[in-house]
């Protein structure tokens, strides 16, 4: 199997893309610590994996709190003897408001996405450096926030800015820690049907049906399933991606390519 023997920690494993990634990794032979803010949901993912004869444990973490991220990393090391792959996929919420964007909203989104990514990297690096290897993977964004500003539609100021921060953290740490044998990459999901994305649309007053109809032209293969996006994490976590570093992989059926005029090379 593609990830035989890999010790992995997935933060955000309670729902959507993180959950599908934890399940796929276990199917491909990895041991998985499934961590989430929502303990019951993390446990449900673990139960699914164990019922299919996989190996998994659950854990609770708020990725925006450094001490908690350090603690879940320590627990994963204790359970598995090390961590070869860290995947982070938490999602907070989205808002289109800019002129009257509450400061607390900005801080919240940056806490979950930007600080969460930083804390994940900070917790993983010493463990992976000591092992002389590891892979850190972050769910970033494709149509909603790649490199922050080049987004079309550029409609989510705090979310988009925090997504841009994630991608810059990926690139910087990919450069700094490559000599320790650590690769750092992102996966940019296109619009993917998850509890988080559907609720997020509702929060900003967009019904799913309308969004899918209106957005169809920008989604050549339609919306993704979390299982599809999980395959991108599998690619980058595995030896198939052994020379890929500092790169964010779109898994979006071509949505990214369909946004004409950008990154054509």
Partner 1 sequence: MSSNSLLRDKQVLVLDGDDGIGAAVTAQFKAEGASVVSVQVSGTDVVAAFDQATSQLGDIDVVVNAISTWEPLAPESWTSDRWHELNQRNGEVAMLVGQLALKRLRSPGVVCSVSSVWAMATSPEMGLFGASKAALGPITKAVALSGVSAGIRANTVVMGLIDTPALRAVVEQAGQAAGGAGSDNLFDQTIPRVPMRRAGTAEEVANAAAFLCSGHARMINGASVVVDGGFLYA
Ligand X SMILES: NC(=O)c1ccc[n+]([C@@H]2O[C@H](COP(=O)([O-])OP(=O)(O)OC[C@H]3O[C@@H](n4cnc5c(N)ncnc54)[C@H](O)[C@@H]3O)[C@@H](O)[C@H]2O)c1
Task: Please report, for residues 25, 26, 54, 196, 200, the alpha-carbon distance to residue 1 in angstroms, rounded to integers and kept in the order given.
Answer: 10, 10, 12, 30, 35
- CB closer to partner 1, 111 vs 232: 232
Say how far apart CA 203 and CA 229 lie, in whole Å. Answer: 23
Number of residues forming the site for partner 1 (CB under 8 A): 43
- On whether the CB atoms of residues 42 and 75 are closer than 8 A, the answer is no
Interaction of residue 228 with partner 1, rule CB under 8 A: yes
Cα separations (Å) of 108 from 43, 102, 105, 205? 25, 10, 5, 20
- Pick 111 or 145: Cβ nearer partner 1: 145
Among 103, 104, 209, 264, binds partner 1 (CB under 8 A): 264
How many other C-beta atoms lie within 10 A of the C-beta of residue 210? 10
Contact set for partner 1, span 229-248 (CB under 8 A): 229, 231-232, 234-235, 238-247
Q: For residue 135, what are the CA distances in angstroms to 70, 87, 210, 223, 257?
A: 17, 8, 38, 27, 26
| Cα distance between residue 244 and residue 228, in whole Å | 19
Q: Is 159 designated active site?
A: yes
In the complex, what is the shortest distance from the CB of residue 102 to partner 1, in angstroms, rounded to a whole number?
33
162 binds ligand X (CB under 6 A): no
Residues found near partner 1 in the complex (CB under 8 A): 1-2, 171-172, 174-175, 178-179, 183-184, 190, 220-221, 224-225, 228-229, 231-232, 234-235, 238-247, 249-254, 256-258, 263-265
Residues found near ligand X in the complex (CB under 6 A): 11-12, 14-18, 36-38, 41, 61-64, 89-92, 112, 139, 141-142, 144, 189, 191-192, 194-197, 226
């Amino acid at each position: 199997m593609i990830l035989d023997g890999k010790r992995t920690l997935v933060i955000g494993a309670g729902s959507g893309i993180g959950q599908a990634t934890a399940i796929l990794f276990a199917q491909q032979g990895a041991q998985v610590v499934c961590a989430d803010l929502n303990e019951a949901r993390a446990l449900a993912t673990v139960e699914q994996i164990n019922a299919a004869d996989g190996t998994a444990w659950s854990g609770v973490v708020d990725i925006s709190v450094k001490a908690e991220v350090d603690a879940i990393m320590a627990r994963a090391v204790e359970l598995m003897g090390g961590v070869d792959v860290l995947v982070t996929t938490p999602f907070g919420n989205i808002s289109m408001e800019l002129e009257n964007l509450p400061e607390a909203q900005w801080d919240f989104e940056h806490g979950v996405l930007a600080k969460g990514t930083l804390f994940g990297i900070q917790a993983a690096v010493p463990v992976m450096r000591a092992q002389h290897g590891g892979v850190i993977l972050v769910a970033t964004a494709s149509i909603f926030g790649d490199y922050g500003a080049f987004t079309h539609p550029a409609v989510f100021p705090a979310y988009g800015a925090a997504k841009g921060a994630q991608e810059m953290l990926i690139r910087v740490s990919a450069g700094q820690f490559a000599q320790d044998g650590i690769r750092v990459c992102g996966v940019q999901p296109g619009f993917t049907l998850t509890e988080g994305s559907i609720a997020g649309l509702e929060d900003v007053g967009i019904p799913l049906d309308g969004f899918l109809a209106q957005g169809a032209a920008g989604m050549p293969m339609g919306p993704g399933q979390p299982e599809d996006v999980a395959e991108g994490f599998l690619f980058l976590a595995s030896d198939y991606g052994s020379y890929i570093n500092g790169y964010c992989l779109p898994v979006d059926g071509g949505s990214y390519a369909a946004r004409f005029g950008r990154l054509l090379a």
